[in-house]
Amino acid sequence: KNILIINGPNLNLLGQREKSIYGNQDFLSYFETLQADFKDQVQLTYFQSNTEGFIIDKIHEVGFQIDGIVLNAGAYTHTSVAIGDAIAAVTSPVVEVHISNVHTREAFRHHSYLAKNCVGVICGFGLESYRLGILSLLK
């Protein structure tokens, strides 16, 4: 199986950015742990972009062949009709994930333009939200 993790804006700064919310670990070191843990079951790949259109291009590129996408679109979750439409357009299942529990935070983080086109939403488990996203796609 092949699963792609996509991280959106500002998630390249994990480990440096708002550590009390997002933790101390950088994503690439966590990603290596995930790759090792899932190596017998799934080929994991990773893409990050701070640009809405590049995230859409990547969803189009892989979204008709891959077994699933774990997507943390960052703040675009709360603003992007276009990423929501891209998820609807492709055939691969997409799981929306968030590191923080967005529902305990500002009201503008409570709404997602992506969720209705996703197979499910996982939030609030720190970086382990990504692992839960992968597990949900493997079931």
Q: At closest approach, how far in Å is the CB of 65 from ligand DQA?
A: 26
64: its two tokens:
């008709």
Active site (annotated) includes residue 98? yes
> What Cα–Cα distance (Å) separates residue 44 from each residue in 9, 32, 75?
20, 10, 24
Q: Give the three-state DSSP class for 54.
A: helix
Contacting residues for 36 by C-beta, under 8 A, at least 6 apart: none
- Any contact of residue 55 with ligand DQA (CB under 6 A)? no
Measured CA to CA, the distance from residue 11 to residue 50 in angstroms comes to 8
- Any contact of residue 14 with ligand DQA (CB under 6 A)? no
- Which one of the spans 28-36, 54-62, 74-82, 83-91 is the region binding ligand DQA (CB under 6 A)? 74-82
Number of H helices, E strands in the chain: 5, 5
Active site (annotated) includes residue 76? no
- Any contact of residue 10 with ligand DQA (CB under 6 A)? yes
Active-site residue list: 22, 98
Using CB under 6 A, list all residues that contact ligand DQA.
Answer: 10, 72, 74-75, 77, 98-100, 102, 109
Residues marked as binding?
A: 72, 78, 85, 99-100, 109
